Structures are given as structure tokens and as C-alpha cells.
Amino acid sequence: MLSPWRATGNDGEKLADALERLTTVLVEHLAELIKELLAQAPPPARVILPRLGPRLYASRAKRVYATPTPPRIGA
């Protein structure tokens, strides 16, 4: 995913490594973040988004990665 960054020179390797670490942290804490965001959302969104979000993600992941559950970065 980050190979184009790595190939640029100009500290591309360092940037790609930093982005991979950031992505890993975000994915690992995504559930907590979603709970915090939904706590502030209007009531209809609190009901709809937890059901709709995973389906939309799985649909897009299937198109992009050919699987609804792509491997985690750094795993």
C-alpha cells in the first residue's frame, strides 16, 4: 500500500513507516473512537450507523481486496 511513498526517496521510507504505525494505532482503537463519536451523534444515527457501517465496509473491502475482511496492516 505504501510502496509508492517508499519509492519517492525524500524520506519516503520514514514517511511510509510512520503512516503504517499510525494506521495500526487507528485500527486498534477504532472501536473506542466509534463509540465516542456515536455518543455525540443524533439518536437515529446511533441506531443506524452501527448496523450499516460494517456492511458498507465489508462491501467496499470485497471490491478493493477481494475479501470482506482484509488482513490488518502490521499483523
As averages over each run of 10 residues, the pLDDT of the chain (75 residues) reads 60 71 71 86 90 88 87 65
- Does pTM surpass 0.85? no
Closest CA to 54 of 32, 69, 72: 69
CA separation for the pair 29, 74 (Å, rounded): 14
The distance from CA 36 to its chain's CA centroid, rounded to whole angstroms, is 16
Per-residue pLDDT at 74: 58
CA separation for the pair 54, 31 (Å, rounded): 11
Per-residue pLDDT at 5: 55
Per-residue pLDDT at 34: 83
Per-residue pLDDT at 4: 63
- Give the type of residue at 25: V
Domain boundaries, the chain: 3-65
